[in-house]
Structure 1
Amino acid sequence: MFGKQIVKKILFFSLFLALFFVMYVKFFKKNEIVETEVQTSTDTLYNSNIIENVNYVSKDNDGNEYIINAYQGEIDYSNSNIIYLTNVKALIKLNNSENITITSNYGKYNSENYDTIFSKNVIINYMDNKITGEYLDFSLERNSLIISRDIIYTNLENILKADVLEMDIKTKDTKIFMYEDTKKVNIRNKDSYGNN
């Protein structure tokens, strides 16, 4: 009789252990799957901040229009007003002046105040003027355009090399200068440029 009770207890204990093992495997394996699914959906959310064929249009109080297009944009998680752009093209339509076009490889656009940083292979075309550089800070709010790093400014007659060019968008007043006082802005006539 005593032996039967021991066998029952061993069977009961074995059954309890088997049941515990099955429940452990079933529930803990499911939790691992759920965590993987959550991770996958987080990855999907991360990729969803990329926008294809970006287009923004804005106007200032004077009626000047600013149109910016990009192949791709990525919204900054820490500030949703900031969009990082790739293959950027911008058009500035000024009321009382010629249009200004800007292209660059990259950009950083603020959708709140329309300020834009253009970088890498920046090209500005305005009337018969072409300005190239590596960095452009454009602001409708400040009415300014500041291009720097390896500036080459060409018009019908001259080629100019400098470190920085600042332009007031409304008045077209322009300052061209070098960072170091000992260096001078290099200006050459186009006709004599190829001869030297």
Structure 2
Amino acid sequence: MANKKFVKIFLIISLCTIIVFFIYIKFLKKNNSKIVQKEESEIIYNSNLIKDVEYSTKDKDGNEYFIKAKEGEIDFSNPNIIFLKKVKATIKLIGSDNVIIVSNFGKYNSENYDTIFSKNVIINYLNNKITGEYLDFSLERNSMIISKNVTYNNLENVLKADVIEINIETKDTKIFMHESKKKVNIKSKN
């Protein structure tokens, strides 16, 4: 009878030990693996930063587009998109002077070369300077659309508007306000 009691106690202790061991392995190993996965994802996230980014392209007409940035970060959801910081672009147009664009931030599409410039955007072309907060530049559409607090300066005038839209190919320019009640403000420097 003592042997039967001893065997029952031994089986209960063994069963409890196996259950505790199983729980330990099952749950603690999962928690450790989650920590490792989190650390790996942080490493991957940090590895998509690129210092001193440079891209260049040439369109079918021979115009060249160069873009440089102090830092770039590839978008995880779309690897063709690169978010840029401290951006400078140069557009070398055939038969014309260069257009220089600088901004604090940019969003560059490496597939179609379209670029969104934002925060403290400055465009310099000949004796013209356009400033604003947002520029949508597209080689595909042949357009530059600058908006938000737009100011245009040349040797003779200062112009303030909501939007300036320029066709890169024809140089046709549209200047307008978002609200029909507001008017474009032009002042002569002379």
TM-score of the two chains, using structure 2 as the length reference: 0.90
Cα deviation, 1:37-79, whole Å, max 9, x if unaligned, reads: 1222122223333322221111101111111111222222222
- Structure 2 SS opposite 1:10: helix
Q: Secondary structure at the match of 2:95?
A: coil
Deviation at 1:127, TM superposition (A): 0.9
Deviations 1:8-61 (A, max 9, x none): 331343244234423532453223212211222122223333322221111101
- Unaligned residue ranges in structure 2 (runs of 5+): none
1:174 deviation in Å?
Answer: 1.7
- Partner of 1:194 in structure 2? none
Question: Percent identity, aligned pairs only?
Answer: 56
Tell me the CA shift for residue 173 of structure 1.
Answer: 2.0
Structure 2 residue aligned with 1:143: 142
Structure 1: distance between partners of 2:23 and 2:184? 77
Q: Secondary structure at the match of 1:184?
A: coil
Q: Could you tell me which amino acid in structure 2 is paired with residue 63 of structure 1?
A: G
Segments of 5+ residues of structure 1 without an aligned counterpart are 192-196
Structure 2 Cα separation of the partners of residues 164 and 54 of structure 1: 29
Q: Specify the alignment match of 2:126 in structure 1.
A: 127
Stretch of structure 1 that moved more, 158-167 or 182-191: 182-191
Q: Which moved more, 1:46-55 or 1:11-20?
A: 11-20
Q: Does 1:88 align with 2:121?
A: no
Q: Match for 2:8: what amino acid?
A: K
Q: CA deviation at 1:124?
A: 0.3
SS state of the match for residue 182, structure 1? Answer: coil
1:152-191 Cα offsets, whole Å, 9 max, x none, are 1111121111111111212222222222333222211223
Question: Aligned partner of 2:94: which letter?
Answer: N
Matches within 5 A, 1:117-196: 117-191=116-190
What is the aligned partner in structure 2 of residue 109 from structure 1?
108
CA RMSD across the alignment: 1.8
Deviation at 1:148, TM superposition (A): 1.3
